[in-house]
Amino acid sequence: MKWMPGILAGMLALVPLGMAAEAPAAKTPVEAFGALPIFTHAHLSPDGNHLAAIQSYKGRPVVVIYNLQAPPGTVPAIVESPEWFVENIRWVKNNVLVLNVKSSQRAVDGNLRTWVRAIAVDADGKNGRILMNNEKTLDNNTYTASVIDILPNDPDHILMTLFRFHGVGSFNTAYGDQAFHLDVLSVDVKTGTSHVLREGREDTIEWFTDGNGAIVARLDRNDLSRKEKLFLYSGGDERLGGTFDSGGDRDSGVAGLSEDGKALIRQVKDKGFDMLVRDDLETGKETDLFIAPGYDVGGTIEDEWTGRVVGVTYDADKTEYRFLDPRREALQRGIEQAFPGKSAGIVSSNMAADKLVVYVNGPDVPPVFYLLDRTTHNMRPVALPYPTLVTVALGEMKQHDYVARDGLAIHAYLTLPPGKPAANLPLVVMPHGGPDARDKIGFDWWAQFLANRGYAVLQPNYRGSAGYGEAFTQAGLRQWGLKMQDDISDGVKKVVAEGIADPKRVCIVGASYGGYAALAGAAFTPDLYACAVAVAGVSDLPLMLRTEHRFSGEESKTSLFWATRIGSSDENWDQLVATSPARHVDKVRAPVLLIHGEGDTTVRIDQSEEVADALKSAGRKVEFIRIPGEDHYLNKTETRVRILTETERFLEQNIGK
């Protein structure tokens, strides 16, 4: 692996709010929307002296490290690699930053897989080293970047997990899951070498610590029994802490240790919604901790330095942040009061919590990062992820809810092109991916680009979208191409009936599951759409399930999850075939644009290859664009700009400017 840390002159500096910008041209350049944001994943070092972020450089994500104690104008340290994409970063010591980097490469079995590695660098961006580099089984793991404890009182070590070989004979020929156990390793961050601290069992899937190096729990899962068992540790003793179902999307839900260290915090389904509960370590008593009225808890907020659970997030119409400690909650409320109508949350802090990075996001303005000094009470903007959009009028994004044909309430958002009346507009309906995800009010570079080009954009949270409770999830089970698709169609019909959209100028555009929905719209509601754009979309459901079984195992949690969402070949084969667009191209009348990354291991490119071949054989109008060196997540500016450019051209050809 080639890794190149170093210092580059003339690199990006922190961008002040209100920066001078050129007057926008009549047509905003596509790069203003499609370029990678120049500042994301902001993290402060434990002492608050350094700020690291992922930034865009030459169209690729790189790591930039700023010395906040250096004189103004000091060039930051840059860490880049031409072969790997940076996925995440985190400080583990004052002088050590850990990078998670990924690459799609062929494994020894010839299959394309995504490999993720942990790289440590010093605060000056130099001395890159792969963590756990002495482990012989490192290359048998696709993911080797799990840091479970940074050991704040140990200047040299952190704790990580790795699947290590525990079988008989050569690990190079052992492929059974039982031959590899998830062990806890102590890793020297200065050299990258490691040694085993505690061994897992054949079905161990996760470890939990107290933030100071003590292991408090271990989670095991048996795929055959579909059960998870939680084991608790105290004074060297081990005891069973609970047994949980693990079929579909059910599991223990353990998020981590409570801030006071006396309980485990779990995310569970209860009262129709995902909520947070507290399990006392000594008594085992479960106490309700937090429920978001009308919404699922989306995730937990962990203290950066201890890993302990301190709060939750959930998505209403925007992302909401709630903290369990009154002092943290009061700070959050104060930050929100400074930015009314926007989503504002703390994304990083130093260990003393007197320096904070705050991220602010709104529906019709580009996002901004602020640095808050709680000692001086000064908050100043430090970076604009989309600086060239500061002076550009963006589309107004508003709720546009409706009722589906069977009476189910659907939340949706409509972005209108700036400066145009909401009447007889060309419409792009853009269903989100997942499908266990959702859209919300906030800056969306893709939707804003389309609005900038004069299109109204409808983003429906169809049944099965995440965050709306168990009943809404259940309503979407095994409804790919059926009621889920009806929800999208009903949203289009409502916007048309209101006179906002021209019924003859509607195109469906989406990525991942949204790409499936685009193809399904073209195949199963051909009268509704004048064109369809599918980016990394699923086209053949039986093929998708076979692929998941091949790479994850038929009894794996991933395969069980998709069985609940889509179905299985044994139970509903006819439905899977009936709702696979690639098998019904004879019904397609609208032109179709397909775009897919050749390195995609989430939705493999054979999904687009199959439907492209079928459309061509049926004499349908189809374009297929392959993106070399790209996976599912649009890592390069070049990719995003290409997608926007090709989509704009395609829309102009089929539904007009």
Neighbours of 295 (CB within 10 A): 19
**Cβ atoms 363, 352 nearer than 8 A:** no
pLDDT confidence tier of residue 533, bands split at 50, 70 and 90:
very high
**Cβ atoms 530, 521 nearer than 8 A:** no
Cα-Cα-Cα-Cα dihedral of 317, 323, 328, 334, to 10°?
A: 20
pLDDT confidence tier of residue 168, bands split at 50, 70 and 90:
low
pLDDT of residue 23: 38
pLDDT of residue 248: 77
Length of the chain (residues): 657
Please name which of 446, 425, 575 lies closest in space to residue 512, comparing C-alpha atoms: 446
pLDDT in tens, 426-475: 999 999 999 999 999 999 999 999 999 999 999 999 999 999 999 999 99
Instruction: Report how far residue 424's alpha carbon sits from residue 407's, in angstroms, rounded to the nearest whole number.
Output: 27
pLDDT of residue 14: 39
Backbone φ, ψ for residue 27 (5° rounding): -120, 110
- When pLDDT is averaged across residues 195-207 and rounded to a whole number, the result is 96
pLDDT in tens, 53-86: 999 988 899 999 999 999 988 999 999 988 899 9
**Cβ atoms 305, 46 nearer than 8 A:** yes
User: Which of 120-124, 155-159, 271-275, 579-583 is predicted least confidently?
Assistant: 271-275
Structure tokens at 404: 């589906």
pLDDT of residue 553: 83
CATH for the stretch 1-130+321-350+352-390: 2.40.128
Please write down the HEC assignment for all residues of 344-362. EEEEEECCCCCEEEEEEEC
Neighbours of 403 (CB within 10 A): 11
Peptide bond into 591 cis (omega under 30): no
Instruction: For residue 286, list its beta bridge partners.
Output: 279
User: Which of 67-76, 170-179, 370-379, 622-631 is predicted least confidently?
Assistant: 170-179
Please name which of 562, 565, 552, 458 lies closest in space to residue 508, comparing C-alpha atoms: 458
Structure tokens at 86: 């940076």
Sheet of 299-302: strand order equals 299-302, 309-315, 319-323
Domain boundaries, the chain: 1-130+321-350+352-390, 396-540+580-652
Which amino acid is residue 456, in one-letter code?
A
pLDDT confidence tier of residue 414, bands split at 50, 70 and 90:
very high
pLDDT confidence tier of residue 557, bands split at 50, 70 and 90:
confident
pLDDT confidence tier of residue 99, bands split at 50, 70 and 90:
very high
Structure tokens at 19: 């920066």
**Cβ atoms 197, 159 nearer than 8 A:** yes
**Is residue 278 helix, strand or coil?**
strand
Report pTM: 0.92
Instruction: Report how far residue 265's alpha carbon sits from residue 312's, in angstroms, rounded to the nearest whole number.
Output: 11
**Cβ atoms 63, 80 nearer than 8 A:** yes
Q: Where are the alpha helices (DSSP H) in 311-393?
A: 326-338
The secondary structure element, H or E, covering residue 652 is helix 637-655
Per DSSP, the chain holds a count of helices (H) and strands (E) of 11, 38
CB contact set of 186 (below 8 Å; sequence gap of 6+):
157, 158, 159, 194, 195, 196, 197
Task: Write the DSSP string, 491-529.
Answer: HHHHHHHTTSEEEEEEEEEEETHHHHHHHHHHHH-TTT-
Instruction: For residue 268, list its beta bridge partners.
Output: 275
- Residue 150 pLDDT > 70, yes or no? yes
Place of tokens 């408090």: 216
Backbone φ, ψ for residue 206 (5° rounding): -165, 150
Instruction: Report how far residue 76's alpha carbon sits from residue 9's, in angstroms, rounded to the nearest whole number.
Output: 8
The secondary structure element, H or E, covering residue 650 is helix 637-655
- Residue 489 pLDDT > 90, yes or no? yes
Task: Write the DSSP string, 231-275.
Answer: EEEETTEEEEEEEEE-STT----EEEEBTTSSEEEEEEEETTEEE
User: Which of 3-12, 151-160, 215-224, 305-314 is predicted least confidently?
Assistant: 3-12
pLDDT in tens, 381-405: 999 999 999 999 999 999 999 999 9
Instruction: Report how far residue 209's alpha carbon sits from residue 148's, in angstroms, rounded to the nearest whole number.
Output: 7
Instruction: Report how far residue 633's alpha carbon sits from residue 111's, in angstroms, rounded to the nearest whole number.
Output: 19
CB contact set of 605 (below 8 Å; sequence gap of 6+):
596, 597, 598, 626
* Mean pLDDT over each residue of the chain, to the nearest integer: 92
Which amino acid is residue 33, in one-letter code?
F
pLDDT confidence tier of residue 12, bands split at 50, 70 and 90:
very low
pLDDT in tens, 252-267: 999 999 999 999 999 9
Name the class of domain 396-540+580-652. alpha beta
User: Which of 71-80, 90-99, 421-430 is predicted least confidently?
Assistant: 71-80
**Is residue 317 helix, strand or coil?**
coil
Burial class of residue 138 in the structure, from the number of CB atoms within 10 Å of its CB (0-12 exposed, 13-18 middle, 19+ buried): middle
- Residue 107 pLDDT > 90, yes or no? no
Helix 637-655 to helix 445-452 angle (10° resolution) is 40
Biggest CA-to-CA distance, the chain? 72
pLDDT of residue 169: 60
183, 301, 363, 399, 422 from 396: Cα distances, Å: 50, 30, 7, 10, 11
First-last CA distance in the chain: 46
